[in-house]
Amino acid sequence: MLGEIQSSWISFFSKKQPKTFKVKVMTMDAEMEFSCEVKWKGKDLFDLVCRTIGLRETWFFGLRYMVKDTYAWLKPDKRVLDQDVPKDSPITFHFLAKFFPEKVEDELVQEITQHLFFLQVKKQILDEEIFCSPEASVLLASYAVQAKYGDYDPNFHKPGFLAQDELLPKRVLMQYQMTPDMWEEKITAWYAEHRGIARDEAEMEYLKIAQDLDMYGVSYFSITQNKRDTELLLGVDAQGLHIYSPNSKLNPNKSFPWSGIRNISYSEKEFTIKPLEKKKDVFKFYSSQLRVNKLILQLCIGNHDLFMRRRKVDSIEVQQMKAQAKEEKARKKMERQILAREKQMREDAERAKEEMERRLFQLQDEARMANEALLRSEETADLLAEKAQIAEEEAKLLAHKAAEAEQERQRLEVAAIKTKEEKRLMEQKMREAEQLAVKLVEQSERRSKEADHLKQDLNEAKDAERRAKQKLLEISKTTYQAAPACAGPPVSPDSDASADGSFLRMDFKDSDMKRLSMEIERERLEYMERSKHLQDQLKELKSEIESLKLEEQQQAGLYTLLTEPQRSVAPGRSRHSSRSWRQPSVDRAPVLHGCSAPASRSRARGLSPGVNPDGVQKVASAESL
């Protein structure tokens, strides 16, 4: 019973709600999901996608899906679920360009069409489905960067801003030993030259360069020729059919333009191309899969239809689209110009604002500096007032000190006069002392000479006395020896007394000479000591005189400073410190101590008292004996 109720409810809802299926459509820059009815054909789903993205040039695009190891295009006149689409939920389709234009600048009208072609061709170049040289790759990358980032701004686009973008094929990156920074530098150099180009213009320039590449818009299929199973490549594009070698997709071995083909047909795996000229041979080739043959035929029909369509007058719809596109481009150009002017005006306004701000900051700084200067000037005025008061006080003090200095100058003048008189007296005493010293030196030299003469005379007297004594001894010995021999008379007492007296006299002469020599030596030593003492006193006197001269010079300089005009002392100038000066004490000339010169001269000239001046003569007489 419960099962019957459930089945009735299911049949009720199945009748009320139509059956649908989920579809996910992926474009080059977006993903969309739709809920489609079971009865929808491929054209219904395709139109829904075109309306959603706002595309009107629908004849270039199609919905592609994967079937096993190849791809297929959704047929518009057949239901979606009746085709070999995947049974997944949702069913995934790729909205891609199925046919390519011959000249992008003439055929692509809408901006969305141009943008989709740009994204698809860019992906094919990066995936190396379209061969591109390194130079062209760098140039195309610069246009891609311009389309993405706009005008180059060195302040905003710092080094490394392209690190996350894929701009060059891996083959190009591996071909040269260059770092990513070096590639970015090259791309940025081209990118900086594209300033002022809008996004749609940059994309159009990209497509203009890309359409000249050999593999642009070509769909390749593996085929074999005849029964020899010679492997070849069949290329289908907007120009016609091309036969390539398996290892070369750039230069075709043989080409069949659409204008030179009369008919294309296939029977299971065999394809036949009949040229328009009957004289040319029919070209046949074989494909291994029936699905691939259908795809080739479908692409040939579509490209041929577009080829014939380009040679005809545009339809009203296309003309309207081109007119609208032209108006849209003109409007956008005008908007860009207005935007550029506004941008320029905004930049000028910003520069003017920055200049005004800078000027404002400058004026504020100047005002602040002026206030600081005013405060400093006020402080300076107060300080100057204080200094003026201090200067007045200093002027009074200087006047007082000037009076004191004048008194001191007068006192110094008196002291200087006294000092000059004392100096004159000292010089006179010095001259007298020098004269006395000269006399003493002369007297010393004379006394030394006399002492030398006396020594010489004394030595001569000693020699004569010694010779006389010797002679006397010899005589006495001869006399005493001859007396017994001659039997002379006996010696009288008087003779003995006379002999004793002579001996006593001779002894007296010897002691007198010794005493004389001792006295002469003592006087010489005393004289030398007094001369040395006198020399020391002379040195002291000279040093005192020199010190007096130096003090006199200092007094003269001080006197010169004090006698300057009083007008040199002004208020507010540097203060002169008053110097105290004390009159130096002048020592009296030292008194020369020593014996009197006449007494010494008398001693030097004569013999010492108690010496017999006749002693020398007596000795001489004895020597004559």
Annotated binding residue 294: yes
Sequence-separated (6 or more) residues with CB below 8 Å from residue 436 = 534, 592
Sequence-separated (6 or more) residues with CB below 8 Å from residue 412 = 555, 558, 559, 562, 581
Taking CA 57 as the corner, what is the angle to CA 52 and CA 61, rounded to the nearest 5 degrees? 80
**Helix 134-149 vs helix 199-210: angle between axes, to the nearest 10 degrees?**
160
Backbone phi, psi, residue 279, to 5°: -70, -25
Sequence-separated (6 or more) residues with CB below 8 Å from residue 256 = 240, 241, 242, 273, 275, 283
Q: In 3D, which of 130, 65, 59 has the Cα closest to residue 100?
A: 59
Annotated binding residue 532: no
Annotated binding residue 154: no
CA distance 258 to 300: 9
CA distance 64 to 72: 6
CA distance 89 to 93: 12
Q: Which two tokens stand for residue 211?
A: 């359409």
Q: In 3D, which of 78, 476, 126, 583 has the Cα closest to residue 298?
A: 78
- Percentages helix, strand, coil for the chain (3-state, rounded to 5) are 60, 10, 25
β-pair partners for 72: 65
DSSP 8-class letter at 198: -
Q: Euclidean distance between the first and final Cα of the chain, in Å?
A: 208
Amino acid at 330: A
How far from chain centre, in Å, is Cα 613?
Answer: 110
Backbone phi, psi, residue 198, to 5°: -75, 175
Annotated binding residue 76: yes
Q: Which two tokens stand for residue 28?
A: 């080059």
Dihedral sign, Cα of residue 301, residue 306, residue 309, residue 315: positive
Annotated binding residue 382: no
Q: Which residues of 276-299 are buried (b: 16+ CB within 10 A; e: fewer)?
A: eeeeeeebebbbeeeebbebbebb
CA distance 59 to 316: 15
Annotated binding site: 75-78, 294
